[in-house]
Structure 1
Amino acid sequence: MRLFVAVTPPSSALAELADATALLHALPDAGRLRWAAPDTWHFTLAFLGEVDEGLLPELTERLGRAAHRHPAHELWLARGGRFGDRVLWAGAEGDVGVLGELARSAAAGARRAGAGVDESRAFHPHLTLARATGRVSLRPYAEALADFRGSPFRVGRLELVRSRLPGSGVPGERPRYETLAAWDLRT
């Protein structure tokens, strides 16, 4: 099964961001972007890829320990950015250092449980908003979100999420996410 470890902002924070990104759909070439649905927005702390189901008991135990080592903390969604002209994202401000430590602990716990962890990129807290399908400049989209700052929210939960990739071949079909386990952070 394809897994990742994540933190999901509350629906109120996601709604604020959805309102801010609605205007982006009127920009040139917006139809050439593959937009992520707001109900799929999350911070990926560790991407595990394909994980054998037999590892789940050890993995969930270790991720639970990682969650309990870190305090609940405050973030808010803020500004936009891009990874080249491939991915448009929204960032975070607030206690991002605590979120980074939680990401490192989650990745370490997953490795100790025997799961592979994609460490090809350093952790950069972001929610993927859209992916370019072809040659599209994402600069105007990121610039349009430069002044965005959402309301503060409490990060209090770590999640293990299963990603089911589309298999139907229907154009535009998106992955489906299912939370397999969740743990409260230390209060």
Structure 2
Amino acid sequence: MRLFTAVLPPPAALAELEAAVDRLRGLPDADRLRWTGTGGRHLTLAFLGEVDEALLPGLGERLARAAHRHPAFGLRLAGGGRFGDRVLWIGVEGDRTTLRRLADSVTAAVRRAGVPTEDRPYKPHLTLARAARTAHRVDLRPYAAALEGFSGTDWRVDEVALVHSRLPSSGAPGEQPRYETLEAWPLGG
């Protein structure tokens, strides 16, 4: 099964963000972007990829210990950016140091459970849209610029979630991945 670990923003924070995203949908070429659905918006801590279900009990134990080592902390969705011409994202402000430490602990726990993870620097972000792979690229700079001033309400991160990601299978245009939280562990440091 395809898995990742994440911090899930509360519904109120996602509703604020959706109001900002609605304004972006009026920009040129917005219909050529693949927008993430509100139910799938998250801050990934570690992407695990395909994981053998036999590893889940040990993985859960290690993730519970990692979560317990960190205190709850405050964040808010804020500022926008892009990864080249491929991904539009919203960033976070608040206790980014604790978020980074949590991501590092979760990644180490995943590896100790025998699951390989991506090896790249952690860049906290929530993906809003992806550009399709076409000859005519969408310029994401105006979208990122429109998000620069966005700053949502503070919220408290108090758990780590293990999420099952089911990729679209029908081939229907606009079909979104489906996400299911398998388990969540409270922070408790």
Q: What TM-score, normalized by structure 2, do the two folds share?
A: 0.96
Are residue 60 (structure 1) and residue 60 (structure 2) matched?
Answer: yes
Unaligned runs of 5+ in 2: none
1:72–1:154 Cα contact (<8 Å) kept:
yes
CA contact (8 A) 1:51 1:116 kept: no
**2:180 aligned with 1:178:** yes
8 Å Cα contact 1:88/1:142 also seen in 2: yes
3-state secondary structure, aligned to 1:28 = coil
Q: Does structure 1 residue 126 correspond to structure 2 residue 125?
A: yes
Question: Which runs of no fewer than 5 residues in structure 1 stay unpaired?
Answer: none
- 1:44-70 per-position Cα deviation (integer Å, ceiling 9, x unaligned): 000000000000000000000000000
Corresponding residue for 2:10?
A: 10
Aligned to 1:24: 24
Alignment partner of 1:165 out of 164, 167, 182: 167
Cα deviation digits, residues 48-97 of structure 1 (max 9, x gap): 00000000000000000000000000001101100001000000000011
Superposed counterparts of 1:97-136, under 5 Å = 97-119=97-119, 121-133=120-132, 134=134, 135-136=137-138
Partner Cα distance (2:147, 2:44) in 1: 21
For 2:81 and 2:95, the matched residues in 1 are separated by 19
- What is the alpha-carbon distance in structure 2 between the residues aligned to residue 29 and residue 35 of structure 1? 12
Determine helix, strand or coil for the equivalent of 1:26: coil
Q: Does 1:39 align with 2:39?
A: yes
Task: Report the Cα distance in structure 1 between the residues aligned to 2:22 and 2:82, rounded to whole angstroms.
Answer: 17
Counterpart position of 1:51: 51
Q: How many residues align?
A: 186
Give the residue type in structure 2 aligned to 1:137.
Answer: D
**Deviations 1:105-145, CA, capped at 9 Å, x for gaps:** 001000000111112x3111100000001301100000001
For residues 8-29 of structure 1, give each alpha carbon's deviation from its aligned partner in whole angstroms, at most 9, with x where no partner exists: 0100001001111110000000
- Cα distance per residue 1:139-177 (max 9 Å; x no partner): 000000110000100000100000011112222211100
